[in-house]
Each structure stands twice: as structure tokens, then as C-alpha cells.
Amino acid sequence: MKRIAILFLSLLFIFNVISCKENNNSNNDIKNKEPDSNIENKEPDNNVENINLEDYKITSKELIEQSLIYKEFNFKEDDWTKIVNCISNGKEQIDLASSKEEIDNIVYNVKTFLNNVYNDRIYTWIGGGEPFTEGDGTKDNPYIIDNVRKFIYFSDSINNKTEPDAYYELTTDLDLKNIYWIPIGISDDRSFKGHFNGNGYEIKNCKISEYIIMCYVELDVVGLFGYNDGTIENLGIDDVNINVQFRYKEAKYCAIRAGGIVGVNNGIINNCYTIGNMMLNYMGGRSGCTSPCHIYSGGITAINEGVVSNSYANININIEFDENSGGVYVYGIGKGGKIENSFVILNYDIYDRLWSLNDVQVYNIGGDKEINCYRYQYDNRITSKICISDELNSKEFYVNKLNWNPEIWDLDNIVFDNDNYLDNCYPRLKKQK
């Protein structure tokens, strides 16, 4: 009997240990969840130069806190509780972390958990949009977007490969109120292939701000639209704010492509404009890594394999970088393709923190084929035409030189002074509906 009692107590002890361990694992699943098997899980490197771990913790906590801004999109209470708890636990784990690698894994696991809450939809809004109530997506009866939530639904539809080639029309101005925007067409296999008619309306306060870890599945194409294989026309974008930090982590080729409207354009952009700011901050990587990371930026699109016509950008581009930047390229409109009857007001600042003498190139326009394109202020790089302040104040410049249609463009109340348009006194599109 004594042996049986001892055996029973031993089994009970083992059972309790296992139960406690399972509970502990459950409470710490955010920290201990394994990253994707395709992601290299390197040992923590605490010898990386120029890294302040406390600052990195602050930046990482701010990143995962971004999801809290979506509360206005009316979650179910249980789902919202999951989000809040996940973020809170993640922040606690970051505070306890002892290396950048550990912090990166925590951030990745938090974001993966949040995505899993919403039906494993990786490239979608944390928070739902409002389904279309008008139209069927055909040319004669396009889907109507008349509020922000339907615009979010449109973004989700494209990023989830739902009707990527449909017809869409905007019927009102939209204010995104600086919510953190996820580009429409987030990857090459989820590109926009349809027809988007802005009808002369304007989208304001589009904010894209993400700390990009290049070895994970993250944004490498930035803009209101990511990849465009369709047509975007008659659309204005005012006060776009792109502020992206990214860093090199694995020894592999990578590139960031950021555009004022589209990251990569393989389609048509016609009668569009963008006004705003772009800040790209490449933070280098581990010592010994030699593979390059390239930075492409453009006023309308970073990479243009299609057509941009009858459009303009008024954009400030700031780029900071250090080691392992393979090249930095700034384009007034976009790199490559055909660009016609367009102009740019481009201000740029490029700062090499380590004086690494990487390849830096700036182009007034950037197209392979440029037809009747202008840039305000000449920087002596290429031979695109130059326009001066008096011309930008004159309706004749837009109609007679750029060949813009005054039935489409409102050119009667333009005031250009001190190298910029006054508020609400820039070329705008006339409302078509």
C-alpha cells in the first residue's frame, strides 16, 4: 500500500507540473509563439552598433499600439477585448526583452495574432469596412464609394483578391483622418486590376506609417495604392503623409518603393494629383551583411511600367539611410514608363548618416518616354522642361502648354507664391457627379 501511495503522489505531482507549464505557455503564447518557419530565427545579436535598446522598445510598442486607432470601426466587444489584451501583453513582453531579436519576434507574433483574430486575412484592415450598397461592379453600374468605410471595404476587397478587376466610383470627398492606411493592392499577386474613377473628388489625410522589418511579410510597396495594373483617373490626394522606417535584417535583396499615389504602376494613371510629404528612413542592419537594399521614391509612383498622363505632384521627399543601402533614387513623377503632359514641384533632402557614398540619383521626371513634362526649379540633372512661378499662376500654362482639359480641371483660382500653392489655391479637378 505504501508503494502504491508513493506512486500515486508521484503521478499527481507530474500532472500538476505539466498543467502549470501548459497554463504558463497559454498565458505567454504571444512571447513564445514561433515565427513563420520560413523566417530565419537568428540568435540575439547584442553587439550591433548604434542601437539603443530602450529607444527600440519605445518604437516597437508604438508600432503594435497602432491597432488601437481602429476602435471607431465598431468591433464586437469580444474581438476588441482580444485586441486590447494582445497589445497589452505584447508591450509587457517588450519591456522584459533583452535583445532586438527578441523584440522583433514579439512584434511579429503580436501582429500575427491580431491577423488571426480576423479570419487569417493577412492583408486586411483590423476593423471592417461597410459593404457596397450601390452598383454591381460593371462598367455601366460601378460600385459606389460614398464614405470612408466603403473605401476601406474596397481596399479589403482588393487585398483579399475579391473582384480586383471591377469598376469603382467615388462620389464624395473623403477624409481618412490620418488613420494608418494599408495600400490597396498590397502585393504583386493582389494588385488592383480594375477601374477607379475619382470623379474629381479628393482624398485627404492619408497616413502611411509602418516600421518595416524586411525579413517578414511586410510593406515594401507604399502609397494609397500599392500595385496598380488597372486604371486610376480623376482623383486628387491632398495631405498624404508617408513616414516609413525600415531596416535590413537578412542577407538578401530588398527594396522599398514609395509613391505619392501608387507604389508600382503597371497600368494607367490619368488626371490625378498628389500633395504631401514622404519620409523614408533606412536604418541599416547587422555588421557583415552585404546584400543591398534599394530605396525608390516618386511623386506619383515609385516604379512606372505603365502610363502617367495629365497629372502633377507637389511633394516633399526626405530620405535618411546608412550602411547596406544599395541605392537611393528620387523621381519627380516616377521611374520609367511613359509620362505625358505632367509636372512636378519637388523638394527633396537626402541624408547619408554614415557618409557611405552609396549610389544616389535624382531625376526631375524619371520616365523612359517623357512627352511635354515640366518641373518647377531646375536641379541640373536632366533636360526636362522647366516652369517658373509666373506660369504656375497662369491658366494658360495648364491649358496651352500642358494641354489639360478645362472641363476636367478647375484652373480659375490658382495662387502660387514663395515656391508653393496657397491653401486651397492649387489646380483641382472639377466634380463630375
d(CA 315, CA 312): 9
**Lowest-pLDDT range of 82-96, 205-219, 408-422:** 205-219
Packing angle, helices 53-65 and 100-117, rounded to 10: 0
pLDDT band at 246 (very low <50, low <70, confident <90, very high): confident
pLDDT tens, residue by residue, 334-388: 999 999 999 999 999 988 765 555 678 889 899 999 999 999 974 544 456 889 9
pLDDT tens, residue by residue, 185-216: 988 989 999 999 999 999 999 988 765 444 33
> What average pLDDT does the segment 180-186 reach?
85
**Lowest-pLDDT range of 120-129, 140-149, 206-215:** 120-129
How high does pLDDT run on average in the chain?
79
pLDDT of residue 68: 66
Residue 29 has pLDDT above 80, yes or no: no
pLDDT of residue 12: 39
Question: For the chain, what are the domain ranges?
Answer: 21-37+47-117, 143-429
Amino acid at 358: N
Q: Is the pTM of this model over 0.75?
A: no
**Lowest-pLDDT range of 9-23, 129-143, 151-165:** 9-23
CATH architecture, domain 143-429: 3 Solenoid (2.160)
**Lowest-pLDDT range of 21-35, 78-92, 150-164:** 21-35
Quote the percentage of the chain above a pLDDT of 70. 71
